[in-house]
Amino acid sequence: MNARDNCIFCKIVAGQLPSRKVYEDDDMVAFHDIHPKAPVHLLVVPKSHVDSLADCGAGEGEVLARMLLKVPELARAAGCTNGFRTVINTGPEGGQVIYHLHLHVLGGPRHEWKGTLP
């Protein structure tokens, strides 16, 4: 068994675990974070497993670009009309907890954001 067999995001991508999806295409899936830190807290995850941004190479460039370009559309659809924050945690000192590259999209009134941000 390899690390990807136990990857929670790989299991969500494969439909083995439930999620509240807001978007899916051939390359990525976006869903609500189960531990939101803001009124809007989405995760955008590539379907192909790569541990972190530090592990990306030229082969991931296209999907990374597509993910970033999709974020404003997802944020608007979720009601973020006055802006949003996009975060990629990378490695243990960067706050990464799940080792499958993912983008956090956070929005909503700042006074409603909770605790430490991702």
What does the pLDDT read at residue 1? 47
Q: Which domains does the chain have, with CATH numbers?
A: 3-112 (3.30.428.10)
Alpha-carbon distance of 110 to 94, in angstroms, equals: 22
Series of mean pLDDT values for 10-residue runs along the chain (118 residues):
78 96 98 96 97 96 97 97 96 96 95 80
What does the pLDDT read at residue 70? 98
The reported pTM is: 0.93
User: Is 102 a residue of the active site?
Assistant: yes
Token pair recorded at residue 36: 């939101």
Catalytic residue among 35, 102, 104, 111: 102
